[in-house]
Amino acid sequence: MTHPAPPANPERRRLLRLGASVAAAALHAPGLTGQRPLRVRFSHVVSEDTPKGLVAQRLQALVLQRTEGRIDVEVYPDARLYGDRDEMEALHTGAIDMLAPSLSKFGRVGFPEFEVFDLPFLFDHLDAVHRVTQGAYGHRLLAGLHRLGLVGLGYFDNGFKHMSADRPLHEVADFRGLRVRVQGSRVIAAQMRALGARPVPLPFSATREALAKGIVQGTENPLSNFWTQGMHEVQPHLSLTRHGYLGYAVITSERFWSRLRPADRALLQTALSEAIAYGNRIAGAQQEKALTALRAWGGTTIHEPTARQRAELARVVEPVHAELGQRIGPDRIRELHRAIGA
């Protein structure tokens, strides 16, 4: 496959030229080889103006600046290189070096324990999510990625998900028979079935078109994804259900990571931690920005569920929690609740 050039800007080009000459001059220095900047190809499926897009760009800028162009994080947004179906494989084969799949996408590749983040109505606030991701529970999940030769580098937020459809979704009965695009998470599929809807797993990049063609009639996503994908143009109704969380884990392959010099690994990890902290600071504002844009656009009717309607949705999907407990062990669910409550 031919790889398109990543988005470029003049500062990036200047640093890359500088990096090439720094690398060339350092050819004789111990520990440095090669003339071209070290490329770190980072592929993702969402738009640039989203929490994930902005984290990736911040990482790119920090690394370019700190290495004076010697290391270049090339960012490929919008599933331009790989999508949900092939990005993990591309990481394994070394066709790309870094990904940030949503936590909902780890279950289908052998890590069902990540699906705890999909449990509906579990987190009231992002602070509760962070108590899990930044504590022992979250660290253990990332460490477990070793089973597939992956290295987990950190978590970050998109935000809370809402439901959209070709019809108003107020009551549980409104979901009956609705074909809803879902990510490949068994918890999310079970949640839709509990509501009487029909879950249809589809790659993110195919979602808007599937909505436009009526292959599916509804979907769930945080507002930043909903707006930047133009889903509002094909979804006349949006219900601010805030029923679940969407976040990401940044991953690389052990193969790639172990080939880096320890100092470069440390530099990348530090830059990523800073990019993630930045992403978590702006994620809320990205949702607000999308909501403002949606209201100004006016083509999608935005519904605010009442407390009663939301409580009823939560009651109906509650059995999904116990179902996941049966798959990953009730102890894990108890530990999760302890982490949230800590």
Q: Is residue 164 close enough to count as binding ligand LMR by CB under 6 A?
A: no
Nearest approach in angstroms of CB 147 to ligand LMR is: 22
CA-angle at 8, arms to 17 and 90, nearest 5°: 100
Which of 64/157 has CB closer to ligand LMR? Answer: 157
107 touches 186 (CB < 8 A): yes
Q: Is residue 106 close enough to count as binding ligand LMR by CB under 6 A?
A: no
Which of 150/267 has CB closer to ligand LMR? Answer: 150
DSSP 3-state of 70: coil
List the one residue from 225, 280, 287, 309 that touches ligand LMR (CB under 6 A). Answer: 225
Q: Is residue 46 close enough to count as binding ligand LMR by CB under 6 A?
A: yes
Which of 182/267 has CB closer to ligand LMR? Answer: 182
Measured in whole angstroms, how far is the alpha carbon of residue 25 from the centre of its chain?
Answer: 39
110 touches 148 (CB < 8 A): yes
Nearest approach in angstroms of CB 214 to ligand LMR is: 19
**DSSP letters for 178-203:** -EEEE-S-HHHHHHHHHTT-EEEE--
Distances (CA, A) of 16 to 39, 81, 89: 10, 22, 28
**DSSP letters for 93-155:** HTS-SEE--BGGGSGGGT-GGGGGGG-TT--SSHHHHHHHHTSHHHHHHHHHGGGGTEEEEEE
Q: Is residue 226 close enough to count as binding ligand LMR by CB under 6 A?
A: no
Residues in the interface with ligand LMR (CB under 6 A) total 9
Which of 158/217 has CB closer to ligand LMR? Answer: 158
List the one residue from 76, 82, 156, 204 that touches ligand LMR (CB under 6 A). Answer: 204
List the one residue from 221, 228, 239, 287 that touches ligand LMR (CB under 6 A). Answer: 221
> For binding to ligand LMR (CB under 6 A), which residues are involved?
45-46, 52, 102, 158, 183, 204, 221, 225
